[in-house]
Amino acid sequence: MVLSRHFGKPIRVVALVSLFQLLTAVSARPAGLDRDAGNWRSYFGNDKAWSYSALDGINRTNVGRLLPAWAFSTGETGLSATPLVIDGVLLLPTPRNQVFALDAATGRRLWTYSGKLPERVGVRTPLALASGFGLVFLGSTDHHLIAIDEKTGREVWNVQLEDPKQCGCSSSAAPLIVKDKVVIGVSGEVAHRGYLDAFDARTGKRAWRFWTIPGPGEPGHETWPEELWKFGSTSTWYVGSYDSELNLIYWGMANPGPMLGGDYPGAKLYSESLVALDADTGKLKWYFQELPNDKLDFDSVLEPVLIDAEEGGKLRRLVVHPTKSGFTYVIDRATGKFIRAYPFADAINWTKGIDKNGRPLEPRLTLEPGVETLVCPGALGARAAGHSTFSPHTRLWYNTSYEICTGETAIQGKAPQEGQGFNSASFTGSGIPPDTHPFIAAFDPVTGARKWTSPTNAPNVSSLMSTAGDVIFGGDIFGNAWALDATSGEKLWSFNIGTGISSMPVTYTVGNRQFVAITGGLSVVGSTLAKAVLKPEELAKLPPTGAVLFVFALPETDTGAKP
């Protein structure tokens, strides 16, 4: 079946269900390291989920002179990892439970950690690490949390979170180090009860577990049908953020099961919620549910970005939280009070907006059997993979919108079975409406005012990184690493690395030289998205899927002049 009546031309039908089991993950850094600008100790670069570097040696006046400095191939396929860089050593995880330690200036291999491979390789892949206490922490594809000695690559401890053969889940949600604990979530769009775990960073002993679905006798349990709470999913796909002064962890919760459709009633807490947890105990401090009883797979798992800004005439601690639904929520991170929501996508038809209480206006959440419903954003979301960036230098928030709609039809769902896929709707095709285009845009993070828009040649699945040099780095599915002017959106530089990009660039220094690193090897997420929306002639231009790390720098004779 095609969606020609929606988009004016045939669009190929593709299998999209795998996308929701293959989302990539990210990680965060220990508190107190934000001034360590020459290193990149975690995915986000700080506990606030900014994906920002204070380095400015590479800036908008000289970024066009970037050249390859070195490259490294892992010998695999589908590499969309984000490396860490610690004191001149670059640490790169791979889909096969490996970690390579490389000289960050030359690419020379220092050591390799090779973990046990699960029976199914590369289904869910660890794509980021966390570091602290002289250890590197890896969430493995066989649902283990592993601590590795940062200097030698020796395994220090290894704990199994759960048996993946039973739960059908994974720990591809990367770790977050908070004080003396390592916090890690669970991934999987299956009939299972979601959770968030915290372990002692030095010993691997579990410190606490927060269940994303309340059990009997717990507040919120009454919002679930009795037959569903054990199988309601509500995974914690991505990593959260942390406010050290409030001692609160912020984490986004996924959709309830079934993934799409279903006739189950109830708000289903804490699905589709942003939660704030006490970092020491894992106890819930507050929550805000962005979409009660979601039936369209509009996960709330994207990054909670922490900023301080003037609101209502006073300085407030805020969390800026984008969701797959196409809306960004602004919430007081001390109290959980809703302030406002604004759209970051153009193609939205499932609601007429968000009201003053944070609830959708006239939402269209019901799918009917035998009737194809066009949903915008579709099952792929306005953004499902990759992450945004906030620059304290420009005070702007930079984000991606896919602009993809999906045809969806209700089906007779099967009764949930532990660890098995759980769905009550089918996909009949996906496409970009003819009157819109995927883009990257700059927003005022508090008001949602859009400052500029930069159209992309296809939906962007790479994460974004901003720098104090007023540059935004990213990459596309055709293999182009690129840089945009953070103040205007103008493209300043690009270089094709020969394989599609679905990772996030990082920048660091060794000595006095600044480098920019980005991995290539289009993930299954990116490949699935590309096949869903690209024309045959565009698909033919996609480069082969590889596994390469490219590192760029200015010529050594370059003065690195600043604006």
Look at 4-18, 29-43, 151-165, 330-344 and tell me which has the smallest mean pLDDT. 4-18
The per-residue pLDDT for range 276-302, each reduced to its tens digit, is 999 999 999 999 999 999 999 999 999
Q: How confident is the model at residue 261 (pLDDT cuts 50, 70, 90)?
A: confident
Q: What is the 3-state secondary structure (H, E, C) of 379-407?
A: CCCCCCCCCCEEECCCCEEEEEECCCEEE
The per-residue pLDDT for range 52-101, each reduced to its tens digit, is 999 999 999 999 999 999 999 998 888 888 999 999 999 999 888 899 99
- Nearest Cα neighbor of 462 from 517, 508, 530, 526 is 526
Count CB neighbours of 71 within 10 A: 15
pLDDT for residue 125:
57
Give the three-class secondary structure for 422: coil
Counting Cβ atoms within 10 Å, is residue 245 exposed (0-12), middle (13-18) or buried (19+)? Answer: exposed
Look at 9-23, 40-54, 195-209 and tell me which has the smallest mean pLDDT. 9-23
Query: In this structure, which amino acid lies at residue 465?
Result: M
- Nearest Cα neighbor of 396 from 345, 347, 441, 346 is 441
* CATH fold of the domain at 4-553: Methanol Dehydrogenase; Chain A (2.140.10)
Q: Is the confidence at residue 232, as pLDDT, over 90?
A: no
d(CA 176, CA 130): 6
Counting Cβ atoms within 10 Å, is residue 148 exposed (0-12), middle (13-18) or buried (19+)? Answer: buried
The per-residue pLDDT for range 297-320, each reduced to its tens digit, is 999 999 999 999 988 788 999 999
- Which helix (H) or strand (E) is 127 found in, with range? none
pLDDT for residue 218:
96
- Which helix (H) or strand (E) is 493 found in, with range? strand 491-496
Give the three-class secondary structure for 230: helix
Count CB neighbours of 32 within 10 A: 12
Mean pLDDT, residues 43-53 taken together: 94
> Both tokens of residue 362?
């006239």
Does 234 or 334 have the greater pLDDT score?
Answer: 334
Residue 297 is among the residues annotated as catalytic for this protein: yes
The per-residue pLDDT for range 122-147, each reduced to its tens digit, is 345 557 899 999 999 998 888 899 99
- Phi then psi for residue 178, to 5 deg, are -130, 110
Q: Is the confidence at residue 423, as pLDDT, over 80?
A: no
- Which helix (H) or strand (E) is 519 found in, with range? strand 513-520
Q: Is the confidence at residue 116, as pLDDT, over 90?
A: no
pLDDT for residue 35:
54
Does 33 or 408 have the greater pLDDT score?
Answer: 408
In sequence order, the 6+-apart residues with CB closer than 8 A to the CB of 70 are 106, 107, 551
Asked if residues 209 and 194 have their Cβ atoms less than 8 Å apart, the reply is: no
pTM (predicted TM-score): 0.92
Does 500 or 422 have the greater pLDDT score?
Answer: 500
Q: Is the peptide bond before 377 cis (omega within 30 degrees of 0)?
A: yes
Give the three-class secondary structure for 172: coil
pLDDT for residue 560:
52
pLDDT for residue 120:
54
Q: Is the confidence at residue 18, as pLDDT, over 50?
A: no
d(CA 145, CA 182): 9
Asked if residues 363 and 331 have their Cβ atoms less than 8 Å apart, the reply is: no
The per-residue pLDDT for range 180-208, each reduced to its tens digit, is 999 999 887 888 899 999 999 999 999 99
The per-residue pLDDT for range 518-545, each reduced to its tens digit, is 999 987 778 888 888 888 999 999 998 8
Q: Is the confidence at residue 228, as pLDDT, over 70?
A: yes
> Both tokens of residue 342?
């604004």
Catalytic residue among 142, 197, 297, 476: 297
DSSP one-letter code for 66: -
d(CA 106, CA 427): 47
Q: Is the confidence at residue 121, as pLDDT, over 60?
A: no
Q: Is the confidence at residue 117, as pLDDT, over 70?
A: yes
> Both tokens of residue 249?
């962890």
Look at 255-269, 409-423, 515-529 and tell me which has the smallest mean pLDDT. 409-423
In sequence order, the 6+-apart residues with CB closer than 8 A to the CB of 158 are 144, 145, 146, 147, 204
